[in-house]
Amino acid sequence: MIVNFSFAQKNEVENAVNKLTELMITPDSLALDKLISNNLSYGHSSGKIETKQQFMQSLLSGSSDFIDINLTDQTVTIQNKTALVRHTLNAKTNDKNVPGNVKLNILLVWSKEKAGWKLLGRQAVKVP
């Protein structure tokens, strides 16, 4: 029974990651609000740290504009009500109408709440 429970939780976390990826490409304020913790700490590879409101605003305003995102090498580790997700993000961007490409190693921290898994933390680093 434990195996099925952890498999179901892993699927829930992976679905949350997929939903976040979709929302980064096509932002929706209500859906983002439901998926992201009010205590979000969103770290960029540049060292910039954003709150939930700042992260949502950068996506909704187009200052952070993802055209396409491809995630590879994803691992999911779940301990109690916390999930750690690591992956490599390859993305085409159009930040402030400037086309670009990014390749980053990402760590996502998800917290299991009554409403489901919510993004609590994110840190990106440049791929060496």
Chain mean pLDDT for the chain:
94
Lookup: tokens for 71: 């995630």
H/E stretch holding 26: none
Confidence bin at 128 (pLDDT 50/70/90) = confident
Alpha-carbon distance of 47 to 7, in angstroms, equals 34
- Could you tell me whether strands 116-126 and 36-43 are parallel, antiparallel, or unpaired per DSSP bridges? parallel
Lookup: tokens for 60: 């909704």
Helix (H, G, I), strand (E, B) or coil at 59: helix
Residues in a beta bridge with 111: 82, 118
Instruction: Return the pLDDT at 54.
Output: 98
Mean pLDDT of 18-44: 98
pLDDT at 1 over 50: no
Q: Global pTM?
A: 0.93
Instruction: Return the pLDDT at 51.
Output: 98
Confidence bin at 4 (pLDDT 50/70/90) = low
The Cα diameter of the chain in Å comes to 50
Given a contact cutoff of 8 angstroms between Cβ atoms, the answer to whether 89 and 106 are in contact is yes
